Structure 1
Amino acid sequence: MSKSQSISVLRNYHDCDLARGSESYLPGLPTHAASCAKWCRHLRKFMILDKKHRKSKQVFRSYSAIMTERKRHALGTHGFIIHPFSIFAIYREHMLCILWMISFALDPYNVSFHHTAYFSPISLPIQMFVDLLIFINIILEFFVGYYVPITKEIVLEPKNIRLRYLRTYFFIDLFSCLPYYHICLLFGLITMNSRFDFVGMIKLIRIIRLNTMSAFMRDLFLEIKMGESAIKWVKIFLKTVYLIHWWACIFHGFPIMWSHGFSRLTEDSWLIRADLYKDDVDISMSYRYLVCLLTATSHFYGASDANQHFIEPIEKVMASICLVTGFGYCSYFAANFLQIFGSINIADSKYDELIYQLEEYSRVKKLPEDLQQRLKAYYEYKFQKKFFNQEAILNTLSEHLRYEILLFNCRHIIEKVMALQGLSKSVVGGLIANFKLEVYLQNDVIIKHGDPPFKMYFISHGTVAVFWSNGQELTHHEDGDFFGSLQEPSIVSVVAAEITETFSMDVTDARYIFKLEKEVSDRMSQLQASKQAEYRSLAQMLEESEGKSVLMELRRGYILEKRHYR
């Protein structure tokens, strides 16, 4: 490897010498293509899987797996479907989260304080705008794929998407965004003098979407790098605000609804006794809301009665339910408090403690910033922000259960490595029992040219680049592939092109297994020989074309398109 090329290998990015083509896998356009065609292709790029999406890195833990999924989407028959891990889907979820946050506060207010709310110069345009965007989202829902966490499957088939939405939230979304009040007012079914919007109560079914909004909110906060504990506190705070706001609306709207309108409120109603409604007195709706908010907060936490004495039996029941709900919510708050600071969430707290110790170690040892970031990336990839002692857990299990877990963890390798296919479960389990998990960060040198036979590596997730002795890049190995040598010195150098998780087997363990299983020994020998022959063939092709500079530039992709880094 030449000096300049050796330096290139040690850069903080993998400078790929191989032709990669279009990463979007979308059909290319000629240079004279119409602007509309270019715009459509650009739009489709926002609809395919985004490799920088946070969930993409969790579900597809390697570059090759991401590219495989992107290829499945771009070249499939359902290219018009929006991928759930696309840039378009990210912004759509963020928009829906904000719209629902507004709607969950505005809808109860409009229903309870109906007469003023619907004709406010602020409230009415906001509600109409929110309903319009949610109606547009109803159409989009039929074209957005979804992710199944249990099976880790991404569904892009239009029929399955339509059936899933029709069976879940379609009618809820549809009925909650229609302008019932304005339709009934247009046909004379209700009057403008009504103090309570009975028809608009249909919109309150949108609250069923509260869990969806909470999930989207968590994703939004994670996108801005907010910690898990901070997210939980923010969600608890918002839940508290919403509950008290809803109870304030109930304290105002329920007595009116029970009395069938403002004109039928009795003198014993707390709204009359609190002087919220007086003849020939113009009381602002903001003042009424603040009084209801104070009353609801006092009863919710059981602090006092806010100088409001309920006489009507139904109003006493309403206040009692508010008090019981408040006690239940306080219990929920206490449970979350223990979960955040106690031992319930011990996996998260242990991981946070580990990262804190790592930061303190880096500070005391005065490690450079780039090395600190690499250390954090290593721990985040290995533990996925959940700390656990794998060795201690496995040691408590029976030998059969340990083999079952090892077989499951290595299922990608078992499916793709030819040497392991067709072998009995016990033989494969014996091989995998000797595997050692190793994680390499981007640009880590795994094998150098000329290293003695030491280990064989099987890639679980990730990508490695293979270099010939003169520094030329030969090929990439990805998920399920293997590299290394157990019989002769390495003729190539191998560098991690991204964070790569491998299972390795050293020479001592391999020789012991090969003595017991002659079939495995023969298969491994054949695969290693074919791999070495493949390297030499690729190197010979490069040497023959070394003098053809134009062809080399075309192969590397330096002439027809920009060079990409990863």
Structure 2
Amino acid sequence: NFTDIILNFRTTYVSHSGQVVYDPRSICIHYLATWFFVDLIAALPFDLLYAFNVTVTSLVHLLKTVRLLRLLRLLQKLDRYSQYSAMVLTLLMSMFALLAHWMACVWFVIGRKEMESNDPVTWDIGWLHELGKRLEVPYINNSVGGPSIRSAYIASLYFTLSSLTSVGFGNVCANTDAEKIFSICTMLIGALMHAVVFGNVTAIIQRMYSRRSLYHTRMKDLKDFIRVHRLPQQLKQRTLEYFQTTWSVNNGIDAN
């Protein structure tokens, strides 16, 4: 909101040289050159426009998607909280689910606009029209009838998740030019998500199981040592039990 914008004009930042900048003028210039316009558009009171029945165009609705760019700030700070593996993993998957939800809403709006248009080419081959025929609830007179909002949303979410994860099965597909352009954008975003989000998820999972892997490695080394030196069965059992007990106490950390 606008309070965040005011606070950002008074919030210090770290320069490229690694120094914390306290000068108010430098802070203002830096904020104006980076996140000011994104925050300004994201802070527009769209809910108030709806409350007062102010007519807004479809292009104005698209301005709300600028809020997605604010997620980049979060990605820049993930390394700071990388030790909290479970929290970061949950946060990354929540971001992915939220992005899929937003894109599913855009996909539904595209199909709805095509159904409401008078263009016979896009009306007859749009994905929403095809879904209605497949579910045996076809549209009548462009906008009457058709699948329920619930069915349309599930199909939209299914399509966006399939496209973002690059495992599309083709049963919900893009037919019109607008749908194909949106599908291309979804695939590009999906490629970016694979590089950023799933790359971090892989690293986090590896870090979560690093201690377990270290335990099995040291246990194997200990068993190899016992086999090579042919320790007696009783001493072998006591050695393994001591290792397991010590590991459970200090989790593999050398107390000495």
TM range (shorter): 0.5 to 0.7
Equivalent pairs counted in the alignment come to 216
Aligned mates of 1:316, 1:238 — CA distance in 2: 27
> Is 1:304 aligned to 2:169, yes or no?
yes
> What are the within-5 Å matches in structure 2 for residues 172-183 of structure 1?
172-179=38-45, 182-183=48-49
User: 1:310-336: CA deviations, max 9, x gaps?
Assistant: 432442444355456546644666654
Which of 99, 108, 116 is the equivalent residue of 1:262?
116
Q: Distance in 2 between matches of 1:302 and 1:230?
A: 26
Q: Does 1:156 align with 2:9?
A: no
Cα 1:282–1:312 change in 2 (3 A) is closer
Asked if 1 retains the 8 angstrom alpha-carbon contact of 2:131 and 2:147, the reply is no
Matched-pair contact (CA < 8 Å) for 2:159–2:168: no
Query: Whole-Å Cα distance in 2 between the matches of residues 159 and 180 of structure 1?
Result: 31
Structure 2: how far apart are the matches of 1:341 and 1:188?
A: 48
Deviation at 1:292, TM superposition (A): 0.9
Does residue 23 of structure 2 align to residue 166 of structure 1?
no
Matches within 5 A, 1:122-271: 134-148=1-15, 151-179=17-45, 182-183=48-49, 190=56, 197-215=58-76, 222=81, 227-231=83-87, 233-256=89-112, 259=114, 262-264=116-118, 266-271=123-128
Q: Secondary structure at the match of 1:200?
A: helix
Rg larger in structure: 1
Where does structure 2 lack aligned partners over 5 or more consecutive residues? 133-137, 219-241
Which of 247, 260, 273 is matched with 2:130 structurally? 273
- Secondary structure at the aligned position of 2:123 is classed as coil
CA separation in 1, counterparts of 2:247 and 2:53? 77
More helix by share: 2
1:493 aligned partner = none
Summarize the Cα distance change of 1:277–1:234 in structure 2 as closer, same or farther, 3 Å threshold. farther
Cα RMSD of the aligned pairs, angstroms, is: 4.5
Identify if the C-alpha distance between structure 1 residues 249 and 153 changes in structure 2 by more than 3 Å, giving closer, same or farther.
same
Provide, for residues 335-386 of structure 1, a one-character-per-residue CA deviation record: whole Å limited to 9, x for no partner.
54664577xx9xxx69x959x98xx97952998xxxx7xx89x99xxxxxxx
The 1-side partners of 2:130 and 2:34 are apart by 45
Q: Within 2, Cα distance between the matches of 1:281 and 1:272?
A: 10
What's the offset of the Cα at 1:262? 2.8
**2-structure distance, mates of 1:334, 1:189:** 40
Residues 287/135 of structure 1: CA separation in 2 closer, same or farther (3 Å cut): farther
Partner of 1:124: none
Residue type at the aligned position of 2:28: R
> If each structure's strand is expressed as a fraction of its own residues, which one has the higher value?
1
Tell me the alpha carbon deviations over residues 252-308 of structure 1, each in whole angstroms, 9 at most, x when there is no partner.
223456x5x834461221112222865444865343211211222234433412x33
Alignment of 1:6-25 (within 5 A): none
Distance verdict in 2 for CA 1:160–1:329, change over 3 Å: closer
Alpha-carbon distance in structure 2 between the residues aligned to 1:180 and 1:341: 39
The CA distance in 2 between the partners of 1:254 and 1:316, in whole Å, is 11
Counterparts of 2:247 and 2:111, CA distance in 1: 67
How many angstroms apart in 2 are the aligned matches of 1:147 and 1:188?
A: 41
2:109 maps to amino acid:
G
Matches of 2:246 and 2:173 in 1, distance apart? 63
* 2:151 counterpart of 1:287: yes
Structure 1 position 144, deviation (Å):
2.5
State the identity %.
21
Deviation at 1:178, TM superposition (A): 1.5
Give, as a single letter, the amino acid of the residue that structure 1 aligns with 2:246.
V
The 5 A counterparts of 1:487-506 are none
What CA distance in whole angstroms lies between the structure 2 residues aligned with 1:175 and 1:247? 19
1:364 aligns with 2:246: yes
Contact kept? 1:181, 1:200, Cα under 8 Å: no
User: How many Å separate the matches in 2 of 1:365 and 1:281?
Assistant: 65
Distance 1:341 1:365 in 2: 21
User: In 2 relative to 1, CA 269–365 (structure 1 residues): closer, same or farther, beyond 3 Å?
Assistant: closer
Q: Secondary structure of the residue that 1:302 maps to in structure 2? A: coil
Higher relative contact order (CA 8 A, sep 6+): 1
TM-score, normalised on structure 1? 0.31
